[in-house]
Structure 1
Amino acid sequence: MTANPEPVIFGEVLFDCFEERSVLGGAPFNVAWNLKGLGRDPLFMGAVGDDALGARVQQALSAWGMRPEGLQLDPHHPTGQVQVTLSGGEPQYEILADQAYDHVEVAGALDALPDHGILYHGSLALREASARHGLERLRDHMDARVFMDVNLRAPWWKREEVHDLMAHATWVKLNQDELSALAPEPAADPEVQARLTLACFDLEAMIVTRASQGAMVLTREGAVHAMNAPAVAGLKDTVGAGDAFSAVTLLGLLEGWPWEVILHRAAEFAARVCTLHGATTEDPGFYASAHDAWNSARPSPQPLSPGGRGAR
């Protein structure tokens, strides 16, 4: 394992409300949860309301052994909720406005942060200008290398705002539809689209997930790594598959895995999450089996350089 500080995960924690149940989620929270299950100790930074759902988040955080100091209690806004419906196994989301996760106050949490390392964020929790300003303070305080996990949810995004976030990132992960929406110019070939976007935002690498077609990673040095999607035996739903992929990608960056190893392990773990109802599980064995297998076949580490975008 490389000597990188534990990652800081910034963004939304909310409940995905299905017809028959409510499931704790939010892409950044799912990533933090998965990383904890896989043996890391991330600091999740988000906010919940002073309500029953907020209490459930705090209880779950404690039971899973996650660090509590980044979770804020907002007495003025409710814990986030999203209505989820499934069509052919694919989730559709109705996202409410003005939730607690829109109002994270970073000033009081800066002392708890490492002075370098990886800062993960998505895009949904940055729909408000105040949240984007808070993220900027985090980036500057940590001199962070930034992993941006694009999560476009209409109507909660603007192209120019997402582009600004990408311009401050080191790595960007998105799906094929998001790539098409954000690429600086159209191109019929997804690899050409990704290469144009990588160069436009001066990224170290771009990770593109392509549903049944698998995923690919393009690097600044010109390398392209691609793999087909693994088969899923016992598919329940695809909720959280992208978050699982992100968590393992982050784990690989922290531990210095080569890109081809990261891609393979992230895709295999995302496929396993598709056998769950929802994005995560409280079963430690689900994570231990993957983590133990990776430890027994640990690749030679490729350490990250410290510092933010300028340290390349």
Structure 2
Amino acid sequence: MPDSPDILVFGEVLFDCFDDQQVLGGAPFNVVWNLKGLGRNPLFVGAVGHDALGQRVIASMRTWHMSLAGLGMSENHPTGRVEVHLKNGEPSYKILADQAYDHIDASQVLEKMPQHGLLYHGSLALRGEVSRQNFQHLCDQTQPRIFLDVNLRDPWWQHDEVVGYLQQATWAKLNEQELAILSSRPESAPIEQAQCLRDECQLEAVIVTRAAQGAFVVSRDGSVFETPAPAVPQLIDTVGAGDAFTAVTLIGLIEAWPWPLILQRASVYAAAICAMRGATTDDPLFYIEAKSDWS
């Protein structure tokens, strides 16, 4: 790569497979796509299989001018898939086992990751022992600042494991439902739950998204900042809104924006994603317009 990445994104790339179409996604992949669209230089660390879906991932990354330096190829495991079934309009999901993203090799990116750099990951891609061990080796070697995006996907998570990831992280983002599940004080109000989680896991900040109720953050110094959810006059779907929110939050941390500004810009950007179909777009004008009022 001609330039060092400003953030490593470790995790799954997969396809949501409906009866009639296959939609490229995965929370980490959505995040890195947004980061690239918004002008950052991220490096995606993941894996695909030697199959047609893997070739689609590679083609999409090339089209979006994303580096392939961190993308591994698994000989014996397929590109990630999630089977989506609709019944009476309501989707159900089956996250398939033993996919390529369960076998991520991070050794090829060690030299690209600066000491104490910024590393994003979710919790799903750490379900597999190979990916988990490689992730930990990457952390041991580079001592990064870690942004954990909690994604509790049944049956692929264990409470104690996720708490361990939280204790290793610098910042954590999760939704209100995930916060209540992980909190040691589930009967408390959300802000108190987040404060407790921050203290127990020694986090710099806990960021909580609350859908139509907006978002809030509790920081290490005890400050609490809240933002309402912006109106979305032409709501199409909320797919990828959380990943969009995360991408802007990461940019804010890189740029040292104050928390009120991070929350405001992240919420506005997530609302813009809700006004289009799907989690991402390959239209660069969308991203140019989205950051046009950042200065």
Question: TM-score normalized by structure 2?
Answer: 0.95
RMSD: 1.7
Quote how far apart the aligned CAs of 1:84 are: 3.3
- Indicate the residue corresponding to 2:199 in structure 1: 199
Q: Deviations over 1:99-119 (max 9, x none)?
A: 000000122332232233100
CA distance in 1, matches of 2:115, 2:176: 34
The reply to whether residue 54 of structure 1 matches residue 78 of structure 2 is: no
SS at match of 1:111: helix
**Residue identity (%):** 55
What letter matches 2:275 in structure 1?
T
Contact 1:216 1:224 in 2 (8 A): yes
Distance in 1 (alpha carbons) for counterparts of 2:89 and 2:150: 21
Partner of 1:240: 240
1: distance between equivalents of 2:67 and 2:114?
A: 14
The residue that corresponds to 1:228 in the other structure is 228
Distance 1:15 1:237 in 2: 18
Alpha-carbon contact 2:5-2:113 (below 8 Å) kept: no
Cα distance, 1:84–1:229 mapped onto 2, change above 3 Å: farther
How far apart, CA to CA, are the structure 2 residues paired with 1:89 and 1:135? Answer: 38
- Report the counterpart of residue 17 of structure 2 in structure 1: 17
Match of 1:301 in 2: none
- The separation in 2 between residues aligned to 1:197 and 1:217, in whole angstroms, is 12
The size of the alignment, in residue pairs, is 292
Q: Would you say the 8 A contact 2:44–2:67 is kept in 1?
A: yes
Local SS of the residue matching 1:115: coil
Question: What corresponds to 1:188 in structure 2?
Answer: 188
Cα pair 1:121 1:147 within 8 Å, conserved = yes
Matches within 5 A, 1:137-156: 137-156=137-156
After TM superposition, give the deviation of residue 238 of structure 1 in Å: 1.1
Instruction: Specify the alignment match of 1:163 in structure 2.
Output: 163
* Counterpart in the other structure of 1:44: 44
Residues 171 and 199 of structure 1, relative CA distance in 2, 3 Å threshold: same
- The CA distance in 1 between the partners of 2:87 and 2:148, in whole Å, is 28
CA distance in 1, matches of 2:27, 2:168: 20
SS of 2:56's equivalent? Answer: helix
Structure 1 residue ranges (4+ consecutive) displaced by more than 4 angstroms after TM superposition = 85-92
CA contact (8 A) 1:46 1:72 kept: yes
Deviates most, 11-20 or 274-283: 11-20
Alpha-carbon distance between aligned partners in 2 of 1:69 and 1:239, rounded to the nearest angstrom: 28
In 2, distance between residues paired with 1:198 and 1:92? 32
Deviation at 1:141, TM superposition (A): 2.0
Change (3 A) 1:55 1:46: same
Once the two structures are TM-superposed, the CA of residue 91 in structure 1 deviates from its matched residue by 6.0
Query: How far apart are the structure 2 equivalents of 1:63 and 1:180?
Result: 40
- C-alpha deviation, 1:292, in angstroms: 2.1
Q: Give secondary structure in 2 for the equivalent of 1:140.
A: helix
Amino acid at match of 1:10: F
Give the corresponding residue for 1:302: none
Amino acid at match of 1:96: L
Amino acid paired to 2:235: L
- Alpha-carbon spacing, 1:104–1:234, altered in 2? closer, same or farther (3 Å): same
Q: 1 or 2 for the larger relative contact order (CA 8 Å, sep ≥6)?
A: 1
| Partner SS, residue 292 of structure 1 | coil
User: Could you say what secondary structure the match of 1:293 adopts?
Assistant: coil
Cα distance in 2 for partners of 1:146, 1:86 equals: 36
Q: C-alpha distance in 2, partners of 1:193/1:64?
A: 39
Aligned equivalents of 1:29, 1:276: Cα separation in 2 = 18
Q: Which runs of 5+ in 1 are unaligned?
A: 299-312
Query: How big is each residue's C-alpha offset from its partner over 1:107-145, in whole Å with a ceiling of 9 and x where there is no partner?
Result: 233223223310000000011233222111111222200
Aligned to 2:63: 63
Question: Helix, strand or coil for the counterpart of 2:98?
Answer: coil
1:48 alignment partner, SS class: strand
Counterpart amino acid of 2:95? I
1:278 offset after TM fit, Å?
A: 1.4
Question: Which blocks of at least 5 consecutive residues in structure 2 are unaligned?
Answer: none
Q: Does the 8 Å contact 2:5/2:41 carry over to 1?
A: no
Structure 1 residue aligned with 2:119: 119
Distance 1:237 1:88, change over 3 A: farther
* Offset at residue 37 of structure 1 (A): 0.2
Contact 1:13 1:28 in 2 (8 A): yes
**Structure 1 residue 89 displacement after superposition:** 8.9
Quickly say closer, same or farther: Cα 1:258–1:138, change in 2 above 3 A.
same
One-letter identity of the residue aligned with 2:162: V
Structure 2 counterpart of 1:216: 216
Question: Take 2:236 and 2:48, find their aligned partners in 1: how far apart are those partners?
Answer: 28
